[in-house]
């Protein structure tokens, strides 16, 4: 099949970017989207031109490294799929495709279609863990976890940290990412001791990083390749609010001003 | 060459405790005076970095991905073994040890494997406490399943994403230490060489040279010890189930600096992967082995039969595994299933557009068990298959073919996980330590975490205790020399200005290695491949074309360096496969098989670990041998008839 690609070219974080046109002829419909880009890159290199830089690693849809916008949709037109698992047979001969990196202030472009998702790491570093030093864990079956709770926690834990939620959100908000981790850990009994502090710290980190605010568009849930639900954002808001109220109570008890 | 594995004395079950009782310790207030470099952030690397940071060491951790959470441990599907005996089905530490050492076809150390089985218990405790959402039963306790033909249910799992959940657990522990300031993380940073010096007492690791993959700058990092947790080398075959970025450069550069490479020819080929669909194919995808529980494997009897599978009548089908192995049928072990698939495809009876697969047919199972049961068991796998191939397994049989998946070989380490280079430790898939000639399902995750959480924190202290007060400096002639070599190498790759891309060389190399040193091997094939690889390597260094510049994001340059190292590693794999004139586990030399086509070991001559020493680019490497002694198990032969 033959395609017309417009892809984003940007040499570095501070350089100006532009769209570049490329005619991709003779693409095998059984190849994946990234394999199509591999072919394009080989051809560009043969002509002595620079390759298109894009992030990718496992190509099985689990590592979360790949991802860019295809005609304005994060990971392309198929739902529940990362771009590495999107195959060309879902496009038509003659299609015109615009490829752009995630567009969000908190996820700056590194080069071409690559972005810096370090902000996600810093949100996790703020509290997205259970503090348990190696070797100090009790016997695993001492603490039963009801199966529905464990299953729900798993659904939140499925987030692969790709950034599609932020890219698709008109506000560039990271609520779904943050809520997934707060919910995963906050649902489990092991996560209770740090639950309030975790929600506060992670939300504060998220705001520090320059993500936008959530205004319930639910685009994130629609686009998430792992189907993470916005119900978790409601949980995050509840946990955050409770933690704030508790903080205010503590301050009042100590006689401090608000 | 001193190849002392430093195995503790005493009864098997007491060795690790006894060993720990006598390891030296570092005073809590002195720990912060030590810097440890951890290269790689998968299960072994992240677990080690987090645990060492918690103890108070200064840790620097490196990964080539944009964040440590992406390491390829994340793609492991099946599960993690632990001898908890929660199912009361007779499991024990000894039994897990025995299954693992037998599965490895008696080419691993008893003491190491026993320690692994012993630590499996604490790994599960640790992961559960971290919040890893393992599958649970309705009573709220942990669920287990039987996996890979084991007779007991000892595999803990988190749907089909066990590796992901375990890695996120380790990543979160690592993040906690980054926030605490004990670990400095260097993402998008690739180790390109190891700095080793020798003051007369033998080689000693001093640090690494790494490239910042965003700016292209070379960085020096000095450490009192260096831990390589950089994974395996299946990508030498080009098409494998590994992530595209997984590579052998860190261990290979360490090998060239003096670290011995053990059992390079022991590589595992997984039988149930989706066959390649064309020349553009960039990687292969694994389908869970559990599919063989209900699917029937067959090919047409007649090589010329081009009818669609649904219209081939029973009489014209060859259910070759059921015919050859009536007792185990489609459930024969991974290596047996893989070899038989290769034989039928090589005989011209392969199926699919490329004629490179065999059918895995669920028609009978759907009739017998009903669609609901099959949907429940394999629904997500059917979906994944359809996503990739565009074919519907409910209607037409799946096509499968074996693919490289895991490498048991790796850098040689002693019982403390230290290589023969003092201060250089190797953990996880990057070392050779625990899986012998073949790895059992659900034991890779176990080993990575055992190494990272429990073994390294104990054995590193023992090493560091001797080096208190040692000043670290990334200046000096050793660092100058290695950095200059790295710079020169990158420069020469960019300067070649030939006609062919790194990708095209890699593809051709992978093809050679796959056919000569893949599912089965022969002396003639290996000898021929060795000379072909050498010739291709010469062409690489004349006709390579790398696009882009050195001081920027340059994925072509990254790739070129990795491919250059694959050439040398591929030669060593073939050399080792030729040298090991027996069959063992995954290593089937066609000259050594039983009349039924089973691997025929030669315990008298080959019950050893081969450990290769680099001699320079123009001289063949020297093979050393560490003999394996078996005191607690009897060497038996596998049979699946």
SS3 breakdown of chain B: % helix, strand, coil, rounded to 5? 40, 20, 40
CA distance B181 to chain A (A): 11
Contact B168, A157 (CB under 8 A): yes
Measure CB to CB from residue B133 to each of A36, A135, A150 and give the nearest one: A150
pLDDT digits (tens, 9 = 90+) for B279-323: 889 999 998 888 888 899 999 999 999 899 999 999 999 999 999
Size of interface A-B (CB pairs under 8 A): 213
pLDDT at B640: 66
Q: Note whether B136 contacts A150, CB cutoff 8 Å.
A: yes
Q: Note whether B547 contacts A117, CB cutoff 8 Å.
A: no
pLDDT at B376: 80
Contact B210, B558 (CB under 8 A): no
Q: Note whether B129 contacts A136, CB cutoff 8 Å.
A: yes
pLDDT digits (tens, 9 = 90+) for A161-203: 999 999 999 999 999 999 999 999 999 999 999 999 999 999 9
Q: Note whether A62 contacts B50, CB cutoff 8 Å.
A: no
pLDDT at B638 over 90: no
C-alpha B250/C-alpha B256 separation (Å) is 10
Among candidate residues B154, B158, B81, the one with its CA nearest the CA of residue A150 = B158
Q: In chain A, whose CA is at the least distance from the CA of B548? A: A50
Give the three-class secondary structure for A192. Answer: coil
Bridge partner residues of B589 (DSSP): B521
What is the rounded average pLDDT of the residues B2-28?
96
C-alpha B502/C-alpha B568 separation (Å) is 15
B185 touches chain A (CB under 8 A): yes
C-alpha A57/C-alpha B80 separation (Å) is 23
Among candidate residues B596, B173, B247, B624, the one with its CA nearest the CA of residue B430 = B247
pLDDT at B637: 78
Helices (DSSP H) in B580-628: which residue ranges? Answer: 603-606
Strand order in the sheet with A73-74: A17-24, A3-10, A96-100, A69-70, A73-74
What is the rounded average pLDDT of the residues B173-192?
98
Measure CB to CB from residue B175 to each of A36, A53, A129 and give the nearest one: A129
pLDDT digits (tens, 9 = 90+) for B365-376: 999 999 998 888
| pLDDT band at residue B499 using 50, 70 and 90 as cut-offs | very high
Q: Note whether A63 contacts B285, CB cutoff 8 Å.
A: no
Q: Note whether A50 contacts B187, CB cutoff 8 Å.
A: no
The rounded mean pLDDT for chain B is 95
Active site residues of B: 334
Give the three-class secondary structure for B254. Answer: helix
Q: Note whether A45 contacts B547, CB cutoff 8 Å.
A: yes
C-alpha B510/C-alpha B526 separation (Å) is 14
Q: Note whether A136 contacts B552, CB cutoff 8 Å.
A: no
pLDDT at B492: 97
Measure CB to CB from residue A153 to each of B69, B133, B503 and give the nearest one: B133
Q: In chain A, whose CA is at the least distance from the CA of B187? A: A118
Contact A181, A188 (CB under 8 A): no
Best residue of B86, B160, B172 to probe chain A, by most A CBs closer than 10 Å: B172
- Three-state SS for B467-496 is HCCCCCCCCCHHHHHHHHHHHHHHHHHHHC
Best residue of B44, B76, B136, B357 to probe chain A, by most A CBs closer than 10 Å: B136
B164 touches chain A (CB under 8 A): yes
pLDDT at B595: 80
Q: Where are the beta strands (DSSP E) in A65-156?
A: 69-70, 73-74, 96-100, 109-111, 114-115
B453 touches chain A (CB under 8 A): yes
| pLDDT band at residue B641 using 50, 70 and 90 as cut-offs | low
B545 touches chain A (CB under 8 A): yes
* pLDDT higher at B145 or B8: B8
B173 touches chain A (CB under 8 A): yes
What is the rounded average pLDDT of the residues B154-182?
96
Backbone CA torsion sign across B496, B502, B505, B510: positive
pLDDT at A256: 64
pLDDT digits (tens, 9 = 90+) for A220-242: 999 999 999 999 999 999 999 99
C-alpha B519/C-alpha B593 separation (Å) is 14
Query: Does the structure's ipTM exceed the value 0.95?
Result: yes
Measure CB to CB from residue B278 to each of A12, A31, A147 and give the nearest one: A31
B379 touches chain A (CB under 8 A): no
Give the three-class secondary structure for B625. Answer: strand
pLDDT at A258: 44
pLDDT at B389 over 50: yes
- What share of chain B in percent tops pLDDT 90? 88
| pLDDT band at residue B599 using 50, 70 and 90 as cut-offs | confident
pLDDT digits (tens, 9 = 90+) for B577-596: 999 999 999 999 999 998 87
CA distance B157 to chain A (A): 11
CA distance B28 to chain A (A): 15
Measure CB to CB from residue B173 to each of A34, A55, A129 and give the nearest one: A129
CA distance B611 to chain A (A): 30
Best residue of A63, A128, A130, A157 to probe chain B, by most B CBs closer than 10 Å: A63
* Structure-token pair, residue B355: 């004629």
pLDDT at B532: 98
Give the three-class secondary structure for B605. Answer: helix
| pLDDT band at residue A218 using 50, 70 and 90 as cut-offs | very high
Measure CB to CB from residue A141 to each of B69, B141, B552 and give the nearest one: B141
pLDDT digits (tens, 9 = 90+) for A42-74: 999 999 999 999 999 999 999 999 999 999 999
- Three-state SS for B355-419 is CCEEEEECHHHHHHHCHHHHHHHHHHHHHHHHHHHCCCCCCCCEEEEEEEEEECCEECCCCCCEC
Q: ∠ at Cα B26 (B20, B32), nearest 5°? A: 135
pLDDT at B613 over 50: yes
pLDDT digits (tens, 9 = 90+) for A115-145: 999 999 999 999 999 999 999 999 999 999 9
The rounded mean pLDDT for chain A is 96
């Amino acid at each position: 099949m033959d395609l017309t690609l417009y892809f984003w070219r940007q040499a570095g974080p501070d350089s100006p970017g532009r769209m570049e046109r490329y005619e991709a002829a003779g693409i095998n419909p059984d190849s994946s989207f990234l394999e199509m880009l591999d072919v394009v890159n080989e051809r560009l290199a043969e002509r002595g031109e620079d390759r298109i830089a894009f992030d990718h690693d496992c190509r099985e849809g689990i590592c979360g490294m790949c991802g860019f916008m295809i005609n304005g949709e994060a990971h392309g037109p198929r739902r529940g799929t990362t771009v590495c698992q999107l195959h060309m047979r879902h496009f038509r001969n003659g299609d015109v495709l615009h490829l752009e990196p995630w567009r969000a202030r908190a996820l700056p472009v590194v080069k071409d279609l690559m972005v810096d998702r370090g902000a996600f790491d810093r949100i996790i570093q703020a509290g997205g863990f259970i503090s348990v030093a190696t070797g100090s864990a009790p016997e695993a079956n001492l603490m039963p976890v009801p199966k529905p709770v464990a299953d729900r926690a798993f659904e939140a834990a499925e987030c692969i940290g790709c950034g599609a939620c932020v890219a698709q959100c008109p506000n560039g908000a990271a609520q779904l990412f943050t809520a997934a981790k707060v919910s995963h850990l906050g649902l489990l009994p092991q996560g209770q001791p740090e639950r309030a502090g975790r929600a506060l710290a992670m939300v504060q980190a998220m705001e520090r990083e320059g993500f936008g605010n959530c205004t319930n568009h639910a685009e994130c849930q629609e686009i998430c390749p792992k189907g993470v639900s916005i119900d978790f954002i409601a949980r995050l808001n509840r946990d955050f609010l409770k933690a704030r109220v508790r903080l205010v109570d503590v301050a009042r008890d100590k006689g401090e001003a608000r | 060459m001193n190849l002392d594995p430093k195995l503790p004395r005493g009864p098997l079950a007491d060795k690790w405790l006894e060993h720990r009782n006598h390891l030296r310790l570092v005073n809590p207030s002195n720990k912060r005076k030590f810097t440890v470099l951890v290269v790689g952030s998968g299960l072994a690397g992240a677990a080690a970095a987090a645990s060492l940071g918690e103890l108070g060491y200064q840790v620097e951790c490196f990964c080539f991905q944009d964040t440590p959470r992406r390491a390829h441990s994340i793609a492991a599907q099946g599960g993690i073994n632990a001898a908890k005996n929660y199912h009361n089905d007779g499991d024990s530490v000894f039994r897990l040890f025995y299954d693992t050492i037998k599965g490895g076809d008696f080419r691993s150390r008893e003491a190491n494997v026993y320690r692994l089985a012993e630590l499996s218990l604490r790994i599960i405790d640790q992961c559960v406490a971290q919040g890893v959402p393992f599958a649970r039963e309705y009573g709220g306790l942990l669920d287990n399943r039987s996996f890979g033909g084991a007779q007991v249910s000892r595999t803990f799992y988190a749907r089909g994403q066990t590796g992901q959940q375990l890695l996120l657990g380790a990543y979160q522990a690592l993040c906690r230490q980054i926030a605490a300031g004990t670990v400095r993380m260097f993402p998008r940073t690739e180790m390109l060489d190891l700095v080793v010096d020798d003051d007369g007492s033998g080689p000693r690791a001093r640090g690494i040279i790494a490239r910042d993959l965003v700016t292209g700058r070379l960085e020096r990092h000095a450490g009192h010890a260096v831990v390589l947790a950089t994974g395996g080398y299946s990508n030498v075959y080009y098409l494998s189930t590994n992530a595209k970025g997984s590579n052998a450069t860190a261990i290979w550069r360490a090998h060239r600096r003096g670290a011995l490479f053990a059992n390079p020819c022991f590589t595992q080929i997984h039988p149930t992967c989706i066959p390649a669909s064309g020349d553009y194919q960039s990687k292969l995808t694994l389908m869970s082995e559990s599919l063989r529980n209900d699917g029937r494997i067959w090919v047409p009897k007649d090589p010329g039969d081009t009818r669609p599978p649904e219209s081939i009548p029973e009489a014209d089908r060859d259910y070759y595994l059921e015919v050859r192995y009536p007792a185990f049928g489609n459930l024969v072990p991974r290596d047996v299933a893989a070899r038989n698939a290769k034989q039928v495809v090589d005989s011209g009876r392969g199926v699919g557009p490329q004629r490179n697969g065999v059918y895995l047919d669920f028609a009978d199972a759907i009739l017998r068990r009903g669609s609901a049961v099959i949907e429940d068991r394999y629904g997500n796998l059917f979906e994944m298959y359809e996503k990739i191939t565009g074919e519907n397994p409910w209607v037409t049989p799946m096509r499968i073919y074996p693919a490289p998946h895991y490498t048991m070989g790796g850098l040689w380490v002693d019982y403390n996980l230290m290589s023969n280079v003092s201060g250089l430790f190797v953990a996880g898939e990057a070392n050779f330590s625990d899986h012998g000639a073949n790895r059992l399902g659900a034991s890779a995750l176990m080993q990575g975490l055992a190494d990272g959480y429990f073994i390294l924190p104990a054995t590193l202290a023992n090493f560091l205790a001797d080096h208190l007060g040692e000043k670290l400096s990334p200046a000096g002639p050793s660092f100058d020399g290695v950095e200059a070599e790295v710079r020169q190498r990158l420069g020469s790759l960019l300067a070649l200005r030939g006609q062919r891309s790194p990708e095209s060389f890699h593809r051709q190399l992978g093809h050679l290695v796959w056919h000569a040193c893949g599912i089965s091997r022969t002396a003639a094939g290996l000898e021929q491949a060795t000379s072909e690889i050498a010739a291709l390597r010469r062409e690489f260094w004349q006709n390579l074309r790398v696009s882009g510049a050195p001081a920027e994001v340059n994925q072509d340059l990254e790739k070129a360096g990795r491919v250059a190292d694959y050439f040398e590693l591929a030669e060593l794999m073939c050399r080792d496969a030729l040298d090991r004139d027996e069959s063992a586990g995954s290593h089937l030399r066609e000259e050594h098989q039983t009349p039924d086509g089973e691997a025929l070991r030669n315990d008298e001559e080959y019950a050893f670990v081969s450990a290769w020493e680099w001699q320079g680019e123009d001289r063949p490497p020297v093979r050393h041998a560490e003999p394996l002694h078996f005191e607690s198990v009897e060497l038996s032969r596998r049979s699946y008839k």
